[in-house]
Amino acid sequence: MARDWWIPIVKSALWGVAMALVMGWVARSRFGTRADIDARTLAHPVSTLVTGIAGVALFGGIAVISNSIGKNQTTTMWTTLAFLAFALASVPMIADYYFARHRVSERGMDYGRMFGQRGTFCWSEVQRVRYASAMKWFAIDLRSGSTIRVSAMLMGLPDFARILLAHVPRSVIDDDTYALLLETEQGRPPRVWG
């Protein structure tokens, strides 16, 4: 028994390596191919969809298995509800993949929200542009009171940054966000991890 002290360490190390590889793949995927969309369209990479489906399948599957073939005295309604809650928490990623597509033009932006609402605004309607580093998105506040969020995970951010910088007055973009948009325009979008 004393000889097996290394097994938990190896398991933890393998888990850490696997997670680092997955997170690296997700972060790099926004630089992937854009064959299905044009240069002025902002869209999530396929890794967003895969991650969402994997979360629903994994946690939904655990909930089903824990109440059928894996049922024992530790299985309660609360454990099942917890696994179902984690499965439901992955659904917004799937919805965002399909609906949160934006198209930028010299005139403005057509945008989509997570649950299917669509809208359009002109660059002249922009009141403020900022970057929310905790949420990893650009927030565009409009004069109407609406806020449009553009995820840092989207493909097409360099074109978004170039067009926004060309058509939105510098005075409405906060200093840190302005520097970040300049970096993004050069093909170095914000980091999504860390």
pLDDT at residue number 9: 82
Other Cβ atoms less than 10 A from the Cβ of 60: the count is 16
CATH code of 100-185, in short, is 2.30.29
- What type of residue sits at position 141? D
Structure tokens at 167: 């058509």
Cβ contacts of 50 within 8 Å, gap of 6 or more: none
pLDDT digits (tens, 9 = 90+) for 73-96: 777 888 889 999 999 999 999 999
Domain ranges of the chain: 100-185
How confident is the chain (194 residues) per 10-residue block, as mean pLDDT?
A: 75 80 68 62 89 93 83 79 93 93 95 92 97 94 96 92 96 96 93 73
pLDDT at residue number 76: 80
How far is 157 from 109, CA to CA, in rounded Å?
Answer: 13
